[in-house]
Structure 1
């Protein structure tokens, strides 16, 4: 059979490769070994093809014939057949039409291995799968129904096809085709699983599938709503991840590589692709684990769906969830908005007064200045809160207008609200919750998670969409965030304090921590400082004192306390000054007594004049090169020059390929030669590590030209070869080398070098 390969590709060489490069490439390819799972027969098959390519290209006559065919096909494929007939190259196994080579059945595994190393994964699948299918004419392309030949090469072919599926899946992953990547990975895993072969490779593929799941979910749920089957598949994958993790804020390992912080950002990004009905179903089920995060997200979904679809019963259900959250957190603002949407206006204003959301209260009071109650401001705040803080998180509501007027005008809403209890009947229910104190948030630094880590690298971390909203869940107990601003140019749009965003660190703090929507925990002093009321809303200090039950007594106590503190400060200050004066006096007296009884010896003669701002001797510039001594080349200088060359060589052929330093030690033909070698190694992704031991045997200066010299040295060189970052082989040589040196601009350079023995 014929394989679409050419000899240059097998060796990884360009057409203009030199004989030295050909020998080096052949040596590297022979030393390079595939994965340890391959059998010895597969390795021998690959080696046989490499040797065949080297034999053809190392023979000048055969290479010339092959190059004619190669160029004819590259520039004029139609004339390649004529070249083939003229040179009778078909006898060598060449194919003019596709530059393919003819192989026997035993060399198939080796050819597939080489194609896989070249990144031709689709070609490996195209050639390998028909070999595995007993009936090549079968129309069923599903690997689950394929019958495999029983042969010695079968495990190696299966492994090569599975690895091609793995690498192809990773390549598609990098390109952003997540579903295609999953199909490729599942194909390889299914093939190995059905044959019960190579469990380590199966584990590797399964790990990639688990890390790929979040990407697949985002891709599937971002599809149009008409793609019901695909979106249902995405929801199923999301449910599997939640089960593995134990919920949104669970600590289970789903093998995706996402910690709690990353997973919360993933949920934040995911919400924009879900409809309000999908979020309602998902988060309501998750809230029963129980989960504080899911409960709050379910409240948002219930409020949004109840308002948009004119179903006040859902808003009533959200209010019941807020009652449970209110036992530990300040959710009075959400309670007030729910009461407003249920038509219980007196209860809404009563609960609103208990909220610690000072910015929201300031906005509501400002918009209710000409009204006897806070209802106008609360209605405006609630309408804009729904429009800008709730609806943008749902795919089907993002462009929908929120109008309280249209909501209350709906007959279905009116019928439901008329059947609800009155404000007086609901007061007792809310009062029980509102009288309960909020516990102090517990801090557990050992369970905090940081957002500063990377990456995913090929990083597997999820990158948030730049168009995502900035809020997932609002919380008050630990963190404060800048509220969004509204356009104040019109009468209907004003600045409304926005919700706050929780972090995964907040979730990891335990079930007693606060995680709610728009109000802070009542006991968090830090957030109170950050979120104060506007100055116009805060009563003067004198008014607070005058309204106190005991104003006179408080003033006297405050004044006496201040006077006592001032007196204490002065005492401390005077004591410190006294201690400082005492220390100066004691130190001076001690120095005087020491000089009196133990005088220091005086220096005789003229003293050295040394200045602090000038060095006693000139200091050369740190960037200047050391100047070699004038005259002929000495053994010491020769040792330094040759050692500098060996260090420069190690850097140029090392992992970083520092070519720029070659012209600091080489000139002429030596510089040209080593630049080519270094550039070729860098193109082939090869590098070497050296360990040198140098001994200069003799230095011969040219009598008629003092700027030239010859050095004979023994160099013991230990070399380690690497390709594509993997160690291939090592060698150790002891060479006698003759170096011809020339002095240019006061510095010795190596003009050429040759191995003596």
Structure 2
């Protein structure tokens, strides 16, 4: 066989090395024979080849003749290279020297061919053992060379070929384990290599996305800790870096799949990707889908984000309510610095939110947060007008009006806010955005760029932090919002927010539904770490009874903030205030017929609930304004853990 190497490189000397140095190098090479387990025949063949090269290079006449041959080969200009003819008896020794000379890939390819028919050695022979060992070592060395060149896919293919070869030979189990481990450690680099390629490289990018899903799966999800070789403190900076190479639709698809598998973080990121996609493509329905995802998650600290989404959907009143409920003191102060008009303040924050949190971090998005252009778009205007018409038909019963005809009342929806089709937002505790949250977020996301030892990742622009809100004014404090599952449901306390009580002289409400205190008072606030269905049903029933009492013009039997989050309390406040301003009262009857938990995690529980519901709304003179006859409703209620308490957090009509 021919080895693609000359005598100088085989021995490890340069063309200017003198004869004395040649002989000294020979002795050093003989004294440092490989000790990986090769047979004596291979080591002897190696020594003989080294001695032959040293003998030629130490003979001045033969050396000059050989150098003239090398010069002639180089002068041909046809890409020819020098080669050495090796007898078959010294083949494995020659390949061993080729690998020692730094040509690991050529060694691996030659050893692999030597193990294939018709060249395959006799089964169980020393030549078979030496060639197999050499193939494994050369494969590992070649993969390391490719990795140092940042050719991660080439390194992975070489490792896979080596594994297949060793598995077919049924030898070297320890060597196979080493190759498998190196292939596993290479996975993040392969993802980065493939996803960072041009968008026209569809096949490579699809393979990169497949490998990214494999990486997340073997970790146990975005929040998982199953991969000891890639811990969370390394994975999160890596994931920040990866996101900027994904298009917005790729992120929507990926995060949606991971959210369906139970990842709260992915649900959060999918909401932001949908919002970015909808804003850039002028598709409000995508923003609405993002709003529904964020709302249904029931996570605290989301109100200001939900407010921005509602504003983009044209729901100004709901957006302002959410913003007021979710903004902390620093954010309120900043907003007041922007304008005296509440709507202008909300628009200023929404514009800042889009430019800082939503639009950065997508490979195919380069857009400004231009709200004027958004609301001037015909498709956006048509969507908002359509939704206004729908809401006008569905919620017309909430406004005081003459008593409707009997034929019309059966078609009207209940006036109780929880059973309207208007999305019910979650809330952020005003105390949630504290220094502890800021420190925790910094620990997770503001670490150094991800890297492994002795390797340099491709230079790239810094990726915008995953969702956080920072005051843009100089010297202002930074307020960090918890991100999905990584900062899910931080412990917090929530101050009571008592509702205004209607003076007796302003209305003549019917008697409030009876509220037996003995069945409710002992259980609340609900502090069980893992509440049973019975306890959760009692919490819901207590909230329904409290709402009915407030809407009837009375006082709630229990503090409302011991039962529900501030967003639910705020909506009830609005309903009660609207009734009081109109001089109207409501009699609501709602009883739980069935209660079944459908989802459960340490911080979030969702339940499917069937209710028997009816209501009646009367004017101050006692005239019936509208009513809903008794009917069965099936809805989803979400309970969330705030600190040590479980509260009703969100609601979705069936």
TM-score (structure 2 length as normaliser): 0.61
Q: How does 1:354-369 map to 2 (within 5 A)?
A: 354-358=325-329, 360-369=331-340
1:668 corresponds in structure 2 to: none
2:21 corresponds in structure 1 to: 21
**Change in CA separation of 1:79 and 1:401 when aligned onto 2, cut-off 3 Å:** closer
Q: Distance in 2 between matches of 1:23 and 1:166?
A: 31
**2:206 equivalent to 1:232:** yes
**2:343 equivalent to 1:375:** yes
Q: Distance in 2 between matches of 1:267 and 1:285?
A: 16
Q: Distance in 1 between matches of 2:130 and 2:355?
A: 61
What displacement does 1:344 show?
A: 1.6
What CA RMSD, in Å, does the superposition of the two structures yield over aligned residues? 4.1
Instruction: Note if contact 2:5-2:84 (Cα within 8 Å) is conserved in structure 1.
Output: yes
Q: Distance in 2 between matches of 1:235 and 1:499?
A: 33
Q: Distance in 2 between matches of 1:452 and 1:346?
A: 39
**Change in CA separation of 1:436 and 1:408 when aligned onto 2, cut-off 3 Å:** farther
Residue deviations 1:94-146 (CA, integer Å, cap 9, x gap)? xxx9654332211000000000011112432454344334369xxxxxxxxxx
What displacement does 1:325 show?
A: 5.0
**Change in CA separation of 1:414 and 1:192 when aligned onto 2, cut-off 3 Å:** farther
1:72 corresponds in structure 2 to: 68
**2:190 equivalent to 1:207:** no
Q: Distance in 1 between matches of 2:447 and 2:430?
A: 35
Q: Distance in 1 between matches of 2:447 and 2:233?
A: 10
Instruction: Note if contact 1:272-1:395 (Cα within 8 Å) is conserved in structure 2.
Output: yes
Gaps of 5+ in 1: 81-96, 137-146, 476-481, 487-494, 515-520, 525-757
What displacement does 1:177 show?
A: 1.7
Instruction: Note if contact 1:220-1:234 (Cα within 8 Å) is conserved in structure 2.
Output: yes
Q: Distance in 2 between matches of 1:496 and 1:301?
A: 28
**Change in CA separation of 1:450 and 1:437 when aligned onto 2, cut-off 3 Å:** closer
What SS class does the counterpart of residue 287 from structure 1 fall into? Answer: helix
1:472 corresponds in structure 2 to: 466
**2:326 equivalent to 1:336:** no
**2:265 equivalent to 1:293:** yes
What displacement does 1:184 show?
A: 1.8
2:115 to 100, 116, 132: 132
Gaps of 5+ in 2: 399-414, 496-654
Q: How does 1:597-636 map to 2 (within 5 A)?
A: none
Instruction: Note if contact 1:440-1:523 (Cα within 8 Å) is conserved in structure 2.
Output: no
What displacement does 1:214 show?
A: 1.2
**Change in CA separation of 1:275 and 1:416 when aligned onto 2, cut-off 3 Å:** farther
2:363 corresponds in structure 1 to: 395
What displacement does 1:270 show?
A: 1.3
What SS class does the counterpart of residue 353 from structure 1 fall into? Answer: helix
2:150 corresponds in structure 1 to: 176
1:612 corresponds in structure 2 to: none
What SS class does the counterpart of residue 467 from structure 1 fall into? Answer: coil
**Change in CA separation of 1:440 and 1:399 when aligned onto 2, cut-off 3 Å:** closer
Residue deviations 1:656-705 (CA, integer Å, cap 9, x gap)? xxxxxxxxxxxxxxxxxxxxxxxxxxxxxxxxxxxxxxxxxxxxxxxxxx
Q: Distance in 2 between matches of 1:292 and 1:170?
A: 38
Instruction: Note if contact 2:471-2:479 (Cα within 8 Å) is conserved in structure 1.
Output: yes
Q: Distance in 1 between matches of 2:461 and 2:425?
A: 42
Residue deviations 1:497-533 (CA, integer Å, cap 9, x gap)? 9885879xx976x75438xxxxxx7889xxxxxxxxx
Q: Distance in 2 between matches of 1:358 and 1:350?
A: 15
1:690 corresponds in structure 2 to: none
Q: Distance in 1 between matches of 2:450 and 2:52?
A: 43
Q: Distance in 1 between matches of 2:158 and 2:296?
A: 47
Q: Distance in 2 between matches of 1:166 and 1:412?
A: 59
What displacement does 1:401 show?
A: 6.2
What SS class does the counterpart of residue 467 from structure 2 fall into? Answer: coil
Q: Distance in 2 between matches of 1:392 and 1:435?
A: 24
**Change in CA separation of 1:278 and 1:400 when aligned onto 2, cut-off 3 Å:** farther
Q: How does 1:618-697 map to 2 (within 5 A)?
A: none
Q: Distance in 2 between matches of 1:192 and 1:295?
A: 43
**2:362 equivalent to 1:405:** no
Instruction: Note if contact 2:234-2:450 (Cα within 8 Å) is conserved in structure 1.
Output: no
1:624 corresponds in structure 2 to: none
Residue deviations 1:623-671 (CA, integer Å, cap 9, x gap)? xxxxxxxxxxxxxxxxxxxxxxxxxxxxxxxxxxxxxxxxxxxxxxxxx
**Change in CA separation of 1:434 and 1:98 when aligned onto 2, cut-off 3 Å:** closer
Q: How does 1:702-713 map to 2 (within 5 A)?
A: none
Instruction: Note if contact 2:147-2:155 (Cα within 8 Å) is conserved in structure 1.
Output: yes
**2:84 equivalent to 1:101:** yes
2:316 corresponds in structure 1 to: 345
What displacement does 1:360 show?
A: 4.3
Q: Distance in 2 between matches of 1:40 and 1:321?
A: 68
Q: Distance in 1 between matches of 2:201 and 2:449?
A: 34
Q: Distance in 1 between matches of 2:309 and 2:102?
A: 60
Q: Distance in 2 between matches of 1:47 and 1:501?
A: 67
2:93 corresponds in structure 1 to: 110
**Change in CA separation of 1:435 and 1:309 when aligned onto 2, cut-off 3 Å:** closer
Q: Distance in 2 between matches of 1:340 and 1:426?
A: 23
What displacement does 1:239 show?
A: 0.9
Residue deviations 1:146-188 (CA, integer Å, cap 9, x gap)? x887564233223323432322222121112222222222222
What displacement does 1:453 show?
A: 8.8
Q: Distance in 2 between matches of 1:473 and 1:432?
A: 19
**2:232 equivalent to 1:260:** yes
1:222 to 196, 213, 226: 196
1:459 corresponds in structure 2 to: 454
Q: Distance in 1 between matches of 2:248 and 2:41?
A: 59
What displacement does 1:5 show?
A: 3.6
TM-score (structure 1 length as normaliser): 0.53
Instruction: Note if contact 1:307-1:407 (Cα within 8 Å) is conserved in structure 2.
Output: no
What SS class does the counterpart of residue 237 from structure 2 fall into? Answer: helix
1:308 to 257, 261, 280: 280
1:749 corresponds in structure 2 to: none
Instruction: Note if contact 2:325-2:428 (Cα within 8 Å) is conserved in structure 1.
Output: no
Q: Distance in 2 between matches of 1:354 and 1:33?
A: 75
What displacement does 1:435 show?
A: 8.8
Instruction: Note if contact 1:11-1:26 (Cα within 8 Å) is conserved in structure 2.
Output: yes
What SS class does the counterpart of residue 246 from structure 2 fall into? Answer: coil
Instruction: Note if contact 1:325-1:331 (Cα within 8 Å) is conserved in structure 2.
Output: no
2:50 corresponds in structure 1 to: 50
